[in-house]
Amino acid sequence: MSEDLERRRIIDKKELRRLVPYTATHIGRLERAGTFPRRIRLGGNRVGWILGEVLDWIDARKRERDMRKPDELAA
């Protein structure tokens, strides 16, 4: 599978939780605040997230961490 196609893949809640160890409630809060990728409704009882968007969110957190000064890391 090409990298582009892999990044477009839709992941379920179980896979999302393996990547981002937050509770479903906290993920919902972040989505509503606009600070986490929004879910896609796939059916009446099924949602998913685009893998690439979640990976980009994780990368942004890493960049924020790397830009902090050592004395800010404890905060």
CA distance 60 to 13: 21
Predicted TM-score (pTM) of this structure: 0.85
- Comparing CA positions, the residue from 63, 65, 31, 56 lying closest to residue 13 is 31
Residue 42 contacts residue 10 (beta carbons within 8 Å): yes
Structure tokens at 53: 């968007």
- Comparing CA positions, the residue from 42, 60, 55 lying closest to residue 15 is 55
Look up tokens 């090409």; give the residue.
2
Look up tokens 């009882």; give the residue.
45
pLDDT at residue 74 tops 70: no
Give percent of the chain with pLDDT exceeding 70. Answer: 91
